[in-house]
Structure formats: structure tokens, C-alpha cells
Amino acid sequence: MEKIQKSEAEWRALLTPEQYRVLRERGTEAPFTCGTDEPKTGGHYVCAACGLALFRADTKFESGTGWPSYYAPLAPDRLEEVPDDSFDMHRTEIRCARCGSHLGHVFDDGPPPTGKRYCMNSVALQFIPDTHQWHEQNR
């Protein structure tokens, strides 16, 4: 996968202020602030910064945490795992493998079949329904 690199000025021009804070400055949105409407069709959640497909809609589950949660990525090579020891906690940060944007964290308290909870910031993702014409390289 070819990496996408942009200057911080280019990212600022591309993203909303909240997306920039979360995706590029490793911020976190407040819990329970994302929309509650669930998609009525199949589809994918893509990186809001570069459009890389990251999660299938059918892997999303209600975790009760206030952030969108998924039990498996579309493919392991779509995400980068980075140790995160901030706030006196040991966590695993999840970044987009193509553009390096911060998406959220992964935890070992998810449902079967993986036991993983990919706890993502909603502003870091965009839903693309399967009916949408979409570039094949992003699937």
C-alpha cells in the first residue's frame, strides 16, 4: 500500500478543525457525541483523512462506551498498532496504515469472534454504503 504524506497545512485545509485535532493531533472526541443513526445498508467505514476502507459495517457493535466500536478490521494491513502509554495507561493506539492518522485504540474486551474492541473516534471515519460508486482500490 502506498503511503500518503501531506504537510500539516495540507491536512488542515482538507479536514475540519475537529477532524484535524483527532486525526492529526491524536485527540479524542467526547463520548456519546457521535450520531446514533445506524446505516440501513451494508457498507464500509473509511478513514476520514484518506478514504482507505477500514471496517465493514457488519463488524460494528454497541459497546456502551460512547464511541463507535468494531470487532475486526477489514484487513489487518489497513491499521497500524502503536504503543500508547499516555495518561499513565498502557494502551494500543490505532492509526490508518495509509496516512498515519490517529483513529482510536484497540482493547481485548470485545465480542466473539475476535475478542477485540476497536474503539474509534466517529470523526475519524466516514460511512460509505455499498451502493455508492467507490474506487476499487479502497475496498
Express each pLDDT in 84-135 by its tens digit: 887 777 889 999 999 999 999 999 999 999 999 999 999 999 999 987 555 4
- Of the residues 47, 50, 96, 119, only one is catalytic, namely 119
**119 included as an active-site residue:** yes
Q: Cα(47)–Cα(124) distance, rounded to whole angstroms? A: 6
**Which amino acid, 126?**
Q
Sorted by where each begins, the domain ranges of the chain are 61-129
Q: What are the residue ranges of helices labelled H in the chain?
A: 8-14, 17-19
Question: Rounded distance, CA 129 to CA 103, Å?
Answer: 20
The predicted-structure confidence for 40-90, as pLDDT tens digits, reads as follows: 678 999 999 999 999 999 999 999 888 999 999 999 999 999 988 877 778
CATH of region 61-129: 2.170.150.20
